[in-house]
Amino acid sequence: MDIHDFDFDLPEELIAQTPLKNRTASRLLVLNRESKQIDHKHFSDIKDYLKRGDCLVLNDTRVLPARLYGIKKDTGAKLEVLLLHQKEKDCWEVLAKPAKKMKVGTELVFGDGKLTATCLQTKEHGGRIVQFDYKGIFYEVLDELGEMPLPPYIKEQLPEKERYQTVYAREEGSAAAPTAGLHFTNELLDELKGMGVIITFITLHVGLGTFRPVSVDNIDDHTMHAEFYHMTEETAQTLKAVRKNNGRIISVGTTSTRTLETIARDHEGEFVASSGWTDIFIYPPYDFQAIDGLITNFHLPKSTLIMMVSALVDRESILHAYNEAVKEKYRFFSFGDAMLILPERKRNE
């Protein structure tokens, strides 16, 4: 398929720059997978579309305040470092800017010496391997000195770091938030549990590749970035029971979807406790083995994420829904509104 098949016109003013004060106040476009009917609601109305025995799968990754501003120890030149992932205890792969100023042996100082780093290795596209040195607990130092690595299309400052975290975030390691989950509050989750909706968790640490544009015309030639995932035995057993009881499995976000579909693909359609790296690329046509429905935000034109949601319904219906969202002035991207894609029937009904 051609990349231009997934393009649409998006007015720049619809790109949400700041989160709403009330998480559940976001709008919700509901798209029925079977009838293709569209309903315009608010996120708090999601409970009207979920049933006892349905299961929401949420990604409990926690975003690191991964952007650090420091200086070179010898010259005082300013450098920006963005943490990508941990190689071992205090050794990290980072993205340096400007990368040409950061050679092997370069020493950096952050926060008047509260944190220092030494460049051990250079990689392509500005990547570096650095060794950090500090006193105390690394994540506490990072929380004090680091900034949230907001997506490039967000120009406003984020006054409250926790607003770029889900309320259930707990596993440190992401360079970006699983933004579909930002709409939930603990109160809404408790209300859903009280209705008999099952809540379970997986972990996928979101990498910066999630913002990397597709650079090929033929999407068959695109290579996905790899991200680390983990599913516990408890979650695997929960999902098996939901499927056995004919419940619907609804992933919250494309990151949860990638994890579930990777595990199902690698284990003949079964849910198995596992960890690893996934570079799965989901685009039409694709036979979903793990999920029945999806809660997601509105994605960038020509992105791998709009390709994934197109595979769950069909390209024409998704682009029609997106055009409706533009017409109705929905807010787009990370701090924007949400979409619920759901079948009316349960499995095997």
19-41: per-residue pLDDT in tens? 999 999 999 999 999 999 999 99
Residue 325 shares a structural domain with residue 207: yes
Q: Which of 88, 116, 145 represents a domain boundary (last residue)?
A: 145
Q: What is the mean pLDDT of residues 7-28?
A: 95
> pLDDT-based confidence at 321, cuts 50/70/90?
very high
Q: What is the mean pLDDT of residues 225-242?
A: 96
Go through 168-180 and write b for each residue having 16 or more CB atoms within 10 A of its CB, e for each that does not: bbeeebbbbbbbb
Containing structural domain, residue 23 = 3-63+160-342
Kind of pairing, strands 67-72 and 78-88? Answer: antiparallel
**Over the stretch 65-99, which tens digit does the pLDDT of each residue have?**
999 999 999 999 999 999 988 888 899 999 999 99
Please give the Cα distance from 34 to 317 (Å, whole number): 11
Burial class (CB in 10 A: 0-12, 13-18, 19+), 299: buried
**Over the stretch 156-214, which tens digit does the pLDDT of each residue have?**
888 788 999 999 999 999 988 999 999 999 999 999 999 999 999 999 999 876 666 78
68 contact partners, CB below 8 Å, separation of at least 6: 80, 81, 82, 83, 110, 115, 142, 145, 146, 147
Residue at 152 is within a domain: no
Residue 331 shares a structural domain with residue 312: yes
Q: Is the distance from CB of 231 to CB of 274 less than 8 angstroms?
A: yes
3-state secondary structure of 6: helix
CATH code, domain with 76: 2.40.10.240
* CA atoms 212, 253, 301, 337: torsion sign: negative
Q: In whole angstroms, how far apart are CA 177 and each of 61, 193, 255, 256, 333?
A: 8, 24, 10, 12, 12
Residue 44 shares a structural domain with residue 129: no
Q: Is the distance from CB of 303 to CB of 5 less than 8 angstroms?
A: no
pLDDT for the residue 118? 97
**Over the stretch 251-305, which tens digit does the pLDDT of each residue have?**
999 999 999 999 999 999 999 999 999 999 999 999 999 999 999 999 999 999 9
pLDDT for the residue 151? 83
Residue at 155 is within a domain: no
Residue 244 shares a structural domain with residue 273: yes
pLDDT for the residue 245? 96
What end-to-end distance do the CA atoms of the chain give, in Å?
A: 33
Q: Is the distance from CB of 184 to CB of 24 less than 8 angstroms?
A: yes
> pLDDT-based confidence at 60, cuts 50/70/90?
very high
Residue 17 shares a structural domain with residue 112: no
> pLDDT-based confidence at 324, cuts 50/70/90?
very high
Residue 118 shares a structural domain with residue 264: no
Q: Which of 99, 115, 145 represents a domain boundary (last residue)?
A: 145
Residue at 57 is within a domain: yes
Residue at 48 is within a domain: yes
Number of domains in the chain: 2
> pLDDT-based confidence at 124, cuts 50/70/90?
confident
pLDDT for the residue 61? 97
- Inform me whether the pLDDT recorded for 229 exceeds 80: yes
Please give the Cα distance from 271 to 280 (Å, whole number): 16
CATH code, domain with 253: 3.40.1780.10
More confident residue, 333 or 124: 333
Residue 38 shares a structural domain with residue 87: no
Residue 167 shares a structural domain with residue 93: no
Residue type, 189: L
Residue 257 shares a structural domain with residue 231: yes
pLDDT for the residue 161? 85
**Over the stretch 138-164, which tens digit does the pLDDT of each residue have?**
999 999 999 988 888 888 888 788 999
pLDDT for the residue 225? 84
pLDDT for the residue 345? 61
pLDDT for the residue 339? 98
Residue 75 shares a structural domain with residue 59: no
Residue at 349 is within a domain: no
- Inform me whether the pLDDT recorded for 349 exceeds 80: no
Please give the Cα distance from 39 to 342 (Å, whole number): 12
Residue 37 shares a structural domain with residue 109: no
Q: Which of 86, 114, 145 represents a domain boundary (last residue)?
A: 145
Residue 130 shares a structural domain with residue 176: no
What percent of the chain has pLDDT above 90? 84
Residue at 315 is within a domain: yes
Q: In whole angstroms, how far apart are CA 32 and each of 36, 243, 254, 317?
A: 5, 20, 18, 10
Q: How many residues does the chain have?
A: 349
**Over the stretch 326-337, which tens digit does the pLDDT of each residue have?**
999 999 999 999
What's phi and psi for 115, nearest 5 deg?
-140, 135
* pTM (two decimals): 0.90
